Structure 1
Amino acid sequence: MAVSTSDDYFHKRPDHPYWNESGWFSFMQEERDLSGWIYFYHRPSIGYTVGGICAWDNTGSENYDCLCYDWGEPYPMKPDTNMFDFEIDNGLKVNIIEPLKSYKFGYHGANAYTAGGCELDLTFTAPMLPHDAGMPGGLDEWGKGHYDQSGRMKGTLQLGKERIEIDCVSQRDHSWGVRKLNGNPRGQMIWAIGEKSSFHALAVSRLPMDKDPVIGTAEDVIIGYYLKDGLYGDITLGSGTIKVVERDPTGRPVRYLLECTDSLGRKLEAEGRIKNMLNWQGYSWLMTYWSLVEWTFDGQTAYGEGQDYWPLQQSRRFMQSLR
């Protein structure tokens, strides 16, 4: 099903407390190995929004020591709230400029309970329509629908007295449906945007947790795309794998490898080297190693990200086994 402009607004929903509409946008400053995101979700049936920002580099990898972090607190949903048009009390403001094309973000950390001293003024613009991921098998948390879109983010990030100019490639997504936040497997989500071509891919482990060695495995891609010569090619189950080819002594990923063939018959091999790390546990059941990644593919070097995500209890057992 093609993505339409109506998908950038709240969808018709059942009266279900866990109906969820979420949006995520990335930003980076690759010269200083800095990553960041704006992430939010709405629960219209309950009447609250969770949203905020994060920024990190190599000086801190936890939410309590990274450059900036304000995410996780629910705020009352205001009557005029829509998917990409809202403001919440921690200082985050989101506005849609043109559906499926352009969005504006503001943030002002007002006090010690938000990210005081952190300010953000960014605009995302996309040159092409999103890629419709559909309802991927093996990852129930997305719900009913999901799409991904590459673009460019421009503006400024203020960290205390430091003003950082942002002009970078950016990825965004939007999901909607009843969200099931449990029972999802280990996997990876990776993406890169280059001058010649771009890709986005998500993979999951098919092994039971107690039979998953983690080291040496390659996870099956279940959804994704390869964008080249202005054409999207789908990457679907059975068409490729993502592998963490190297981990450090603590289990954190160091290098990624994507090998796949898209629906147009085009082969893609992309190798990624991690440039920073955020150990993110935004949801109680999920642990994610979230990184800026320098990718090599199609004769180019391009930037993007990698998320190596785990069910929390599996990550606990694996990390303990390395001690």
Structure 2
Amino acid sequence: MGITAEDDLFHPAPHGEPFWNEASWFSFMVPERDLSGFVYLYHRPNIGYTVGGVAAWDGSGSETYDCLLYDWGEGFQTPSGAQMFDFELANGLRVELLEPLRHYRFTYRGQTAFNAGVAVDLDFVADCPPHDTGFPSGLQEWGKGHYDQPGRMTGTLCVDGEVIAVNCVAQRDRSWGIRDIVNNPRGQMVWAVGERSSFHALAVSFRKPEDDPVIGTAEDMILGYYLRDGRYGDLTLGEGNTIAVTQRDESGRPATYRVEATDSLGRRLAATGRVRNMFNWQGYAWLTTFWSLVEWDFDGQTALGEGQDYWPLHHSRTFLRRRRTGQS
């Protein structure tokens, strides 16, 4: 069927299903400052529950309690008359849909003593149509519908009394369906937007945690795109389609990445990435993510994007504790 403008609205939710979820994420960055950030939101229409907010981090702090900006995670009653991309929350976040599948506006004004001087004014404009992937095996617990889209984010971020200009490549996603996470695996999500070509990919580990050495592994790619010469090629599960964290720092967090894949058009993608900042994000109670600005080299170009190395907590806890004691 493909993605249509209707997919930027709420979808019909099964009656009485509390876990029906409508979500979207948008990235932004200021590369010359090694600064990254996001606007992330989700709704649970059947229970009138909405979460939305912003975050930003750089080299000065990698935790929610010491990063540049963090106001995400508090739940609010879904405002009366709200739509997927048209609502305002009591924490100061306002989201506006200006053109379906293309133009979105975000404003945020801190509402509490700890962030009263914070202001965010951002516009995301897509570069091309969205890429439809759905959620295949390995991520079906996140929902059924999903698409990704590259673009550009422009605007300003005002924090600590400084107005910071934002004019950067960006990525967004959109998903919907029943989100009831029980067995989410370890994996990575990576993306880059370049002048010659771009990519987005997500991989998961099919190993049981107790059989997963982590170090030296490459995870199986299950969805994504390779955009070159104006054409999307699908990145799907197949021999040789992998994402690997090729080096980790002393604490176990990613330092370098490698992406290898052949798309549905037969085009080969080989990319290496260098991590430039780090955010330790536990946005969900059962999942932790090492989230980074990444400088990528591929197709004869250097391009910017991100890397998300995500873990179910029982898996990260085992690996990181063993690493600290020299057992891995």
Query: TM-score band, normalised by the shorter chain?
Result: over 0.9
Q: Does structure 1 retain, via aligned residues, the 8 Å contact 2:191–2:307?
A: yes
Cross-structure match for 1:169? 169
Asked whether the equivalents of residues 140 and 184 of structure 1 are also in contact (C-alpha less than 8 Å), the reply is no
Cα contact 1:140–1:180 (8 A) shared by 2:
no
Distance in 2 between residues matched to 1:193 and 1:105, nearest whole Å: 21
Taking the TM superposition and a 5 Å limit, the aligned residue runs for 1:144-223 are 144-223=144-223
Alpha-carbon deviations, 1:211-244, whole Å to 9, x = none? 0000000000000000000000000001500000
Corresponding residue for residue 231 of structure 1: 231
Conserved? CA contact 1:243–1:257, under 8 Å = yes
The equivalent residue for 2:271 is: 270
Instruction: List structure 1 segments (4+ residues) > 2 angstroms apart after TM superposition.
Output: none
Alpha-carbon distance between aligned partners in 1 of 2:26 and 2:217, rounded to the nearest angstrom: 29
Aligned to 2:22: 21
> Between the two proteins, what is the percent identity of the paired residues?
62
Match of residue 51 from structure 1: 52
Give 1:142 deviation, angstroms.
2.2
Give the 5 Å matches for 1:53-68: 53-68=54-69
Cα distance in 2 for partners of 1:127, 1:243 equals 28
Separation in structure 2 between the aligned mates of residue 161 and residue 311 of structure 1, nearest angstrom = 37
Deviation sequence 1:286-313 (CA, Å, 0-9, x none): 0100000000000000000000000101
For the Cα contact (< 8 Å) 2:13–2:45, is it kept in 1?
no
Paired residue secondary structure (2:274): strand
2:32 partner SS: helix
Q: Distance in 2 between the 1:197 and 1:150 partners?
A: 11
Equivalent residues of 1:218, 1:242 under 8 A apart: yes
Listed as ranges, the gaps of 5+ residues in structure 2 are: none
SS of alignment partner, residue 73 of structure 2: coil
Q: Residue type matched to 1:209 in 2? A: P
Matched residue type, 1:148? D
Amino acid at match of 1:87: E
Which deviations, in whole Å up to 9, do the C-alpha atoms of 1:122-179 show, x marking residues without a partner?
0000121100012321012320100000000000000021100000001000110010
Q: Distance in 1 between matches of 2:78 and 2:249?
A: 42
Question: What RMSD over aligned residues (CA atoms) do the two structures have, in Å?
Answer: 0.8
Size of the aligned set, in residue pairs, is 322
Partner residue, 1:321: 322
Contact 1:42/1:83 (CA < 8 Å) preserved in 2? Answer: yes
The equivalent residue for 1:250 is 251
Residue 103 of structure 1: aligned partner: 104
Note the C-alpha offset of 1:118: 1.4
1:169-205 per-residue CA deviation (whole Å, 9 max, x = no partner) reads 0100011001022211000000000000000000000
Q: Which residue of 2 aligns with 1:77?
A: 78
TM-score with structure 1 setting the length: 0.98
Contact 1:54 1:68 in 2 (8 A): yes
Distance 2:116 2:21 in 1: 28
